[in-house]
Amino acid sequence: MNQLVRPMEDRKELDKFVIRPYTKTELGKLYSPTASPQRAWQTVHRWIERCKPLSAALKEAGLKNRDRLLSPRQVRLITQHLGEP
């Protein structure tokens, strides 16, 4: 079997979303892959601001506007409220 062709089960594993640290831009691009990097995060940020429970939870988890990196805990909170990208 050609090693470049993977069985469907392996492809599903590769596409699985992993909770880990992400930059804001990186996570934004996962949610809005066709948008520019800046616009992608702006879109996610707007969704966060509109979801008051998520906004409060992220603030409690220590997220600040100037932060560039989201912790695994913050990523988990986002995906719990917005769903996986």
Evaluate whether residue 74 is within a structural domain.
yes
Domain that holds residue 39: 23-82
Residue range 33-44: mean pLDDT, rounded: 95
**Which residues, 6+ apart, have CB-to-CB distance to 74 below 8 Å?**
58, 61, 62, 63
Please give the DSSP secondary-structure letter assigned to residue 7: P
Residue bearing the bigger pLDDT, 6 or 85: 85
> Residue ranges of the alpha helices (H) in 51-83?
52-60, 72-82
Identify the pLDDT of residue 29. Answer: 96
C-alpha closest to that of 46 among 82, 10, 17: 82
Evaluate whether residue 5 is within a structural domain.
no
pTM to 2 decimal places: 0.81
Evaluate whether residue 70 is within a structural domain.
yes
SS3 call for 67: coil
Q: How many domains does the chain have?
A: 1
